[in-house]
Amino acid sequence: MRRRRSPGRTWQLCQSVDLGGTNLLITAGSGAEKVTASDLTTDSTELSGDAAFSNIEIGNDAGTLTKGGVQGPKGVFSQQADTVRIANLRQTNYATTAGVFKLPGLKLRFSDSGC
């Protein structure tokens, strides 16, 4: 599933990458300045939360996406929107790209557990 979102803002970011016995833990946005992204695209296998989309298009062929100048593989399901707001977001991505991804207070560390 390919999603395109722009612009995006989140209050805090916690991302974990399972490295087989340990996790790379990435956190940001816990201070006054929040995490923001523009022209954000995620390649997701799972996404949950409380969402509100503006001008959403669901079920497009990823090869025909028009927002943000990003296209995916032909024949793959996608959706795109002008904006999205998702509270309590949990997602499983295999790729994330953004035109600008601001991560104030970024911390990278190894942990026994994920987010």
| Measured CA distances, 112 to 23, 43, 106 (Å) | 6, 26, 19
| Per-residue pLDDT of the chain in tens (115 residues, 90 and over written 9) | 444 444 555 578 888 888 888 989 889 988 888 888 888 888 888 888 898 999 999 998 989 988 867 788 899 888 888 888 888 888 887 788 888 888 999 999 999 988 8
Distance of alpha carbon 12 from alpha carbon 78, whole angstroms: 26
Q: pTM for the complete prediction?
A: 0.64
- Give the pLDDT score at 94: 77
